[in-house]
Amino acid sequence: MNKPAVVVDDVSKMFRIYHERNQSLKAALMRGRRAKYDEFWALKDVSLEIASGQTYGLVGHNGSGKSTLLKTMAKILRPDSGAVETNGKVSALLELGAGFHPELSGRDNVYLNGSILGLSKREIDAKFDDIVGFAGLEDFVDQPVKNYSSGMYVRLGFSIAINVDPEILMVDEILAVGDEEFQRRCMEKFKDFKDDGKTIIVVSHALGTVRTMCDEVAWLDHGRLVETGDPNTIIDKYTDVQVEKVAEAHQHDDDSADRQRTPGLLTLDGVELIGPDGEPTTTVRTGDEVRIRFDFEAKEDIRDDVVVAMWIHGSADGSNLTGPNTDDGGLPLRVSKGRGQVELTVPHLMLLPGVYEAGAAMTDPSRANHYDHKPGILRFTVQSGTPTERYGYFSLGGTWARTI
Ligand SMILES: Nc1ncnc2c1ncn2[C@@H]1O[C@H](COP(=O)(O)OP(=O)(O)OP(=O)(O)O)[C@@H](O)[C@H]1O
Ligand SMILES: [Mg+2]
């Protein structure tokens, strides 16, 4: 039996949050030890085990403690209580630019980081071209890294991290940065790693990616471990909670005690993206006319009007981009027993190239009664089309003109 790659045993991590930030240095020194602070527990009693060879995901809301947990696993932070054991050589790609010296060139930083990660000069010499090549930074390697874009930082950091040949690779949110091409190459590298039996630990808001690449997922909430388990199960539960939070934020008047689910009465059976040729697809282009088709079935006539709602997020960082629904869209919906279908027609899809994930729900107009909701039911890719913009998630559809 192999030893587990990582054992996190009842780990807690506290940060001190100091107040009186604007005091002078002298005042701070005079006050000496009596500085006032609050204790903030970024991790509380977290225990988990990552088997050797597993690809393991950490998910949770912003500030839930994912990066802190990863840093304790990488031994960059020391827990206040509990212990972390790792078996195998660790290479970690943490926050953007961590470990880089801004004034040094890319080349010098490769040597600096390589030696920190335990490589000799000769070993780095041998890997140098691979590192720079994978990062695609051949033309920039002699410039100081302070001139690099955030994408360039991440590419170089990732490239070093994978080329030092670790047994355990830890990466924090690299998929949020970098273009589609780089993300694709990272995924290929992850796959090679996995095939070689190495352990990968990823922190990511890209839930679709976590679902497909991870063998197991841990869900953190306010520094506590909620649950670990199969990626689909955990991510469904996690997104359910997110959806409930959004629904609650929308629901001012309704007493939450009235809120009940009616399982099985009305089910959303499928959500499909229909391309310009009228066929279901998962790949479209910016500017395409597309339709999103929702199929549902009611066990009996539904008394209230029904609202079909969807939300789309960028799979790179999980940010919520838009949430069209039949209510805002002015389509009153009476549902009687049997099957039904609605479509949302989008004359010009303004999403820019990237991978997107959509969830959908059927509720009553007050949003108090969720008949069914399906987070992550649709995942699709948008390829370059018209307009040909590259940055961000969507185009404003504007036109440029010189006016002076
Ligand atoms: N050095 C620090 N000093 C004080 N508080 C910190 C420090 N590092 C993290 N925190 C706090 O600990 C909590 C957990 O932070 P952490 O960065 O681990 O969250 P996260 O899950 O990675 O969030 P995100 O999804 O936004 O990256 C946050 O409230 C954060 O503000
Ligand atoms: Mg983080």
pLDDT in tens, 37-69: 778 899 999 999 999 999 999 999 888 999 999
**Structure confidence at residue 365 (pLDDT):** 83
Q: Could you tell me the residue ranges of all domains in the chain?
A: 1-88+199-250, 262-383
Tell me, yes or no, if the two domains 1-88+199-250 and 262-383 fold the same way.
no
Reply yes or no on whether the pLDDT at 198 is more than 80.
yes
The per-residue pLDDT for 357 is 86
- Which amino acid residue places its CA nearest to atom 5 of ligand 1? 15
Three-state secondary-structure class, residue 265: coil
Per-residue pLDDT, 255? 39
The pLDDT score that the predictor gives to residue 251 is: 46
Ligand 1 binding pocket mutation candidate from 12, 38, 58, 64 (most atoms within 8 A of CB): 64
**Can you read off the two tokens belonging to residue 89?**
């050589």
Distance from residue 14's CA to the centre of ligand 1 (Å): 10
pLDDT for residue 178: 62
Q: Which CATH superfamily is domain 1-88+199-250 in?
A: P-loop containing nucleotide triphosphate hydrolases (3.40.50.300)
Which ligand neighbours the alpha carbon of 42 most closely?
A: 1
Ion ligand 2: protein residues whose beta carbon lies under 5 Å: 67
CATH number of 262-383: 2.70.50.60
318-322 long-range CB contacts below 8 Å, 24 or more apart? 318/205, 318/206, 318/207, 319/205, 319/393, 320/246, 321/351, 321/356, 321/393, 321/394
**96: CA distance to ligand 1 center in Å?**
14
Element spanning 363, H or E: strand 354-363
| 8 A C-beta contact, residue 46 and residue 54 | no
pLDDT at 166 over 80: yes
- Three-state DSSP class for residue 33: helix
The better pLDDT of the pair 285, 263 is held by 285
pLDDT of the residue at 176: 64
Q: How far is CA 258 from CA 163, 251, 254, 341, in A?
A: 56, 12, 7, 28
Distance of CA 58 to the CA centre of its chain: 9
Q: By mean pLDDT, which of 153-157, 198-202, 298-302 is the weakest?
A: 153-157
pLDDT at 261 over 80: no
Ligand approaching nearest to the C-alpha of 319: 1
pLDDT in tens, 62-116: 889 999 999 999 998 999 999 999 999 998 887 656 678 888 999 999 999 888 8
Which ligand lies nearest the alpha carbon of 172?
A: 2
Rounded CA-CA distance 297/362 in Å is 11
pTM: 0.64
One-character DSSP codes across 270-300: EEEEE-TTSSEESEEETT--EEEEEEEEESS
Are the beta carbons of 99 and 158 closer than 8 angstroms? no
Per DSSP bridges, beta strands 338-346 and 290-298 are: antiparallel
Confidence (pLDDT) at 252: 38
* pLDDT in the model for residue 304: 86
Record the tokens describing residue 248, joined without a space: 């609650």
Closest residue by CA, ligand 1 atom 29: 63
Dist. CA 163 → ligand 2 center (Å): 23
pLDDT 10s digits, 106-163: 999 999 988 887 889 999 999 999 999 999 999 999 999 888 887 788 889 888 888 8
What pLDDT does residue 153 have? Answer: 85
- 338-390 pLDDT, tens digit each: 999 999 999 999 999 888 888 899 998 877 778 888 888 898 889 888 898 87
More confident of the two residues 170 and 180: 170
Q: What percent of the chain has pLDDT over 90?
A: 48
- Mean pLDDT to the nearest integer, 248-260: 43
Which pLDDT belongs to residue 388? Answer: 87
Higher pLDDT, 258 or 22: 22
- Ligand 1 pocket, Cβ-based, cut-off 6 angstroms: 15, 17, 40, 42, 60, 62-68
Give the Å distance between the CA of 15 and the centre of ligand 2. 15
